[in-house]
Amino acid sequence: MALSENIPALSVVIPVFNEEDNVDLLYQRLHAALSGLGSVEYIFVNDGSQDETLPRVRALRDRDPSVKYLSFSRNFGHQVAVTAGLDVALGRAVVIIDADLQDPPEVIPELYKKFEEGFDVVYAVRSQRRGEGFLKKLTAKIFYRLLRFLTGFSIPVDVGDFRLMSRRSIEVFNKLRERHRYVRGMVSWLGFRQTGVSYIRDPRHSGETKYSVGKMFKLATDGITSFSNVPLQFAGHLGFWISGGSLFYILYIVAMKLFTDKPVIGWASTMTAIIFFGGIQMMTLGVIGEYIGRISDEVKQRPIYIVAETGGIAS
């Protein structure tokens, strides 16, 4: 057990995936912004970078022992990298921040002030997003609102993973070992005292976004499936209303047959019905498959991530 004077006041968890040109500047800005907050540890989580990110982080550690790192055996994804950082962070409070300087380090003291006022989770709310495409902003807006609608409990809107968490909230968070992780939702789920501080999101300092469309889609489905069974129930509702509707149509067909001489015209209506219901059935099967796939991943009980190398992390 570490002596209490070895416990840093603040840990900063930084997931990095091919961020070679951001690492140094980020460290400098963090260092300058946090100088007033007491002892700080910096935990870089290298998520399978292919570029010079890891050597740069090692070089930082050579200069400053409060820089520590974990390096994964391959790319496990941003949410998993954040999880690994929280697993090893020792601070009385922990901040999660992106490496690309979209989340300004200068906001951290404001988050910390709220922590000192007694809040357990202080998340940073994006009041403005600079330098991001129209489509990204629009899809994000729709998604956050859809999620709020589906989950029933309140996951704050327009909030990423840039946030501060207290020691006791992290202790509980670290017990949630699900494979498909939607960190910001899991943190909301914890409860405790949570509040937001608004900030303006800057453009990325260097490089391209590491969230491909595929990764964004996965994050979105993880968010929905981990916090809501509404899509599953939706299949049931749809079935209920459609079979209710078709009852009237069946009565109509039977009546036409029994009481009139007009033949019921066949091909068009048959085809429409087959195609329509075929589509709906495939879709609902897909939704069910999405949940079953996740159950299967949980049952396997594999570790969430694999660490290949560490620096300064007590095992």
Give the interface size with ligand UDP as a residue count (CB under 6 A): 16
Distance of CA 260 to the CA centre of its chain: 60
81 binds ligand UDP (CB under 6 A): yes
102 binds Mg ion (CB under 5 A): yes
Tell me whether residue 79 or residue 169 sits nearer to Mg ion (CB atom). 79
CB of 199 to ligand UDP, least distance (A): 14
Q: Which of 68, 78, 126, 163 binds ligand UDP (CB under 6 A)?
A: 78
Q: Which stretch binds ligand UDP (CB under 6 A): 72-80, 169-177, 187-195, 276-284?
A: 72-80
Could you write out the three-class secondary structure of 87-143?
HHCCCCEEEECCCCCCCCHHHHHHHHHHHHCCCCEEEEEEEEECCCCHHHHHHHHHH
Q: Around 229, how many Cα atoms within 13 Å sit in the side-chain half-sphere?
A: 3
100 binds Mg ion (CB under 5 A): yes
CB of 131 to Mg ion, least distance (A): 10
Q: What are 29's two structure tokens?
A: 């800005």
Select from Mg ion, ligand UDP, none the partner in contact with residue 284, using the beta carbon and a kind-dependent cut-off of 5 to 8 Å: none
* Of 65, 98, 93, nearest in space to 81 by CA: 98
Distance of CA 131 to the CA centre of its chain: 21
Strand order of the β-sheet with 159-166 is 194-201, 121-129, 159-166, 93-96, 10-16, 40-46, 67-72, 307-311
Tell me whether residue 206 or residue 272 sits nearer to ligand UDP (CB atom). 206
CB of 98 to Mg ion, least distance (A): 5
Q: Which of 17, 27, 144, 199 binds ligand UDP (CB under 6 A)?
A: 17
Q: Which of 20, 47, 87, 222 binds ligand UDP (CB under 6 A)?
A: 47
- As a whole number of Å, the CA-based R_g of the chain is 25
**What residue ranges bind ligand UDP (CB under 6 A)?**
15-17, 19, 47, 75, 77-78, 81, 98-100, 102, 209-211
